[in-house]
Structure 1
Amino acid sequence: MSAAAKGAIRIGIGGWVFEPWRGSFYPDGLSQKRELEYASSKLTSIEINGTYYGSQKPESFAKWREETPDGFVFSLKGSRYITNRRVLAEAGPSIEKFITGGVLELKEKLGPINWQFMPTKAFDPADFEAFLKLLPKSVDGRAIRHAVEVRHDSFRSPDFVALLREYGVAVVTAADSKYTQIADATAPFVYSRIMGTQEAEPNGYSARDLDAWAERARLWAAGEVPKDLDTVATSAGGQGGRDVFLYVISGDKIRNPAAAMALIERVGGKG
């Protein structure tokens, strides 16, 4: 596949405010208000976690957009008050409030929204499809991409994968963790969260593991599905290039920036 036909690969971390990163990732003496500027100079994306726990001001999103370089993209987690409910079909007003509450101030730097579900949330096909129908494909002319992070084994169903493909929603590929892994490609982009960093490894992962994740990212970007990840349904590889969003999350968090930077170097740098 030609380079032009491949998707973009963006790699980053969850959030940017973490005290142990000061002196390990952030240079000594760097003011806290410049941490996002610094992080975005080393990474190609960041997943905003605060949006899961509460609303953020539109001015904050605009400020974050202005503090980051051209080509940088934020993903963000959808509100837990939307996903942590018994009947997802009733989430329409809350979804509208979330989408119109300021996130569009990110403008061209708005990446996918990750709707994360509790491990106790089981797959109810009718209710989950009702939820997918509520997710807007565009707002005010700006395309909105959606991913769902499910953590109950009942979602390991071909019916679930088929639903996501019908609505063009990605399933988050969780890795190196206790959570359910579903690595099927279901959307024009891939969203992966890897969670296995170890403090004993200077770059979070061994060189071999970093090479493996970099290769998976390249395969995804080329429209393929890595053979060594656990899928549920028939492969949807060979469907054209896909944008890739890969975040180093959890694990030994102090090493996550180093792991993300090592992966960025392996897939060709920041470009």
Structure 2
Amino acid sequence: MAGSAPHVITFANEKGGTGKSTTAVHAAVALAAQGKRVAALDLDTRQRTFGRYLDNRLATVRRLGLELPMPAHDTFDPAKGESLEAALERASEDADFVIIDTPGRDDSHAREAIVRADTLVTPINDSFVDLDLIGEVDAETYRVRRPSFYAELVWNSRTQRAKTHGASVDWVVLRNRMQHIEARNMRRVGEAMNELSRRVGFRIIPGLGERVIYRELFPKGLTLLDLQAIGEVGLAHIAARQELREMIAGLALPEPGVARRAAAMAG
């Protein structure tokens, strides 16, 4: 894929319930709304939250005759005998960005997707429960004692990518559901996360808040960016869309031409 490889964004977290698939869908649609060619690949063949979300979206587009940004999407199924490498090659044929959503568990294909990522996004809820995935915190001081197993997995994956592909991985930890956390606890989580980011090497950006609207949009496959098209825009929705814009800006993704030149140089 040298010279024509898209920018691969892998959403990965072994803990469920962090808003990973919702965030991935909104990122995919936001990039498609910018005129980017986006391919989405769901690696969770059992739950298929990412794939079902986009299936619902396509059904809504056809049912209502709406013109909405629609990423191409597929679900990877190893039972069909296809390798992840082949699935990525197929998804990359006409894409500026490939967005991969991984299962919320340790999985060999999820590990492979982390190695293939140009941008690795790990959404976590803003709590010590979720932070424990990447770093152990002292119960008395709330200081980071040591990186946890997932941070070590990512570190090893980044090292492998550097050796095999000659490229680096931009690891982004996404802080979801921040506004409903008690202020002192939120500050402690933030301080521990900042300390850990310096030790392990990831960036921290704000994610999506805890809003009922995200659960309501799933059956129709819609996102915050589609509310105006269906005539549902309120003040809360405007604030939520601003969160989404800040999240996309925080990812600091390259323009497609830049991504392709970088891939060509790496190849």
TM over 0.5: no
TM-score normalised to structure 1 length: 0.34
TM-score normalised to structure 2 length: 0.35
